[in-house]
Structure 1
Amino acid sequence: MCGAIGRVTDSPFVKALMDLLNIPFNLETDYNIRPNAKIPIAIGQNGVATGIEANWWLFQARTENGYTYDKRYKSFNTRKDKLMTNRKTDFMYNRCVVPASCFYEWKGNRYKVEPLDSALAFGGLYKAWNTGDPESPHYSCSIITLPPHPRFSHIHDKSLPLMLLPDEIQPWLDDSFHDPNYWQETLQSKIRFDLRVVPVDKKNPSEEIGEAEIIEAD
């Protein structure tokens, strides 16, 4: 489960990824972004990466004041096994990229996980909800999670978030490309980058409190 992410805006890797995704870079550093937060994501529109703002919780509920997260469904993540079943249409037509610097997992301690020399481009799904204004839908999103990886299980033994390689970002956002079978290799549970893992303070995740380890790419 990916239940919190971080974004460090002065990172050159994050800046480069935001530029690639056409996300205006007027964001603040946030080390503790949690589900249902409004986050920048990129979707494909007419073959072009387009930055938008979305609620990090795929299923939304309509209220008098707009939309909020639907408590009936814990949908800030979408498991791989759902991509060919009840989330297949979203997987074919509504893929998105969620940029970040790191993510966090909890297993006894809280751990920060970050690539050594890049930003993170999480593969995700999005939905556009009717607001009554076709020019301004309400967007929501989830991060796709894969089955656990044996060399990551001491950090989290339930799942691993989908982290896209640089050459996968453009086809992932290609809104004219709808073949779900193309992504079988991408959806394998692999360590795709060298990852730095370090315990951090549970309430202040910007504070590292232990020795870091490196989990090398497969």
Structure 2
Amino acid sequence: MCGRINVTDSAGVRALCEQLDIQFWPEEGMQFSRFIGATDRVSVVFNAADDKRQMVNAIWWLLLEKASPEGAFKPSRYTSFNTRYDKLNKRGSAGYQAYRNQRCIIPASGFGETINIEGKKYYHDMMVPQDDALALGGLYRTWHYTTDSGQSLTEYSCSVVTLPPHDKFQHIHKKASPLMLSASDGSMQDWLNPMMTSGTLNYLLTPKIRQPLNAVPIDKPSTYQPIGESNIISADD
């Protein structure tokens, strides 16, 4: 999966947020954008300490580092907008503890993919209908710091969990596919359930398309103008 997420204020995204039963929303509101890129802020949902669902706007880059002596954080030099499935159970990896204790959902309308063929890049937007939404499985981390005035603040970061490439994506992206979840088959609920262990969640680490996706060829991510016929990628059985 490439570093592009589409989060539009659609009926489908609103319905997904209702299904997630969010009790605490970010003060600045949910982040909507046709093109959210790595290191931008994206809205994530997780189970808070009191077992209530909370949404925060997190930096889409799991590993952060100090941006200044004052204590604020910025994306680290280590690439971490995605966390590979084969790193989740590797002790010492960036996602090891988060996979066990800090899993989140990223509500989205779609995501972007890129493929390089004979030195030329081809781009696709993978979209769901307006009345539907994607629940991308992710990880989050919290980072605490104190300002010069003594105020204690918390920064959030996140990544999307990526799985092996899916056979149906071979003409679009050959390296990886995002973890896509659904309320209808219980996978979304399992991912957010703090009682689920890493062992019982491993069944989700096999690529699966849980809802139809419309693959739209575009000129480039910054302008996202369609340049050819789209095609529907069917959901897996």
**TM-score by shorter chain over 0.5:** yes
Correspondent of 2:201 among 165, 183, 200: 183
Shift of 1:19: 3.0
Shift of 1:161: 0.3
Partner Cα separation in structure 1 for residue 18 and residue 181 of structure 2:
16
Note if 1:165 corresponds to 2:182.
yes
The 10-residue stretch of structure 1 (132-141 or 47-56) with the greater mean CA deviation from structure 2:
132-141
1:217 maps to 235
Shift of 1:110: 1.2
Instruction: Assess if the C-alpha contact under 8 Å between 1:13 and 1:118 holds in 2.
Output: yes
Instruction: Assess if the C-alpha contact under 8 Å between 1:102 and 1:113 holds in 2.
Output: yes
Shift of 1:122: 0.6
Partner Cα separation in structure 2 for residue 127 and residue 34 of structure 1:
18
Q: 1:174 to 1:188 in 2, by over 3 A?
A: same
Instruction: Assess if the C-alpha contact under 8 Å between 1:47 and 1:173 holds in 2.
Output: no
Partner Cα separation in structure 2 for residue 33 and residue 168 of structure 1:
25
Q: SS state of the match for residue 145, structure 2?
A: coil
1:15 maps to 14
Partner Cα separation in structure 2 for residue 149 and residue 3 of structure 1:
17
Root-mean-square deviation over aligned CA pairs: 2.0
For normalisation by structure 2, the TM-score amounts to 0.83
Query: Of the two, which has the highest radius of gyration?
Result: 2
Shift of 1:96: 0.8
Shift of 1:62: 0.7
1:101-180 equivalence runs, <5 A:
101-107=109-115, 108-116=121-129, 118-132=132-146, 136-166=153-183, 167-175=186-194, 177-180=195-198
Partner Cα separation in structure 2 for residue 125 and residue 27 of structure 1:
18
1:70 maps to 76
Unaligned runs of 5+ in 2: 116-120
Q: Deviations over 1:26-52 (max 9, x none)?
A: 446411110111111111113221111
Instruction: Assess if the C-alpha contact under 8 Å between 1:47 and 1:174 holds in 2.
Output: no
Identity of aligned residues (%): 36
For normalisation by structure 1, the TM-score amounts to 0.90
Partner Cα separation in structure 2 for residue 115 and residue 68 of structure 1:
32
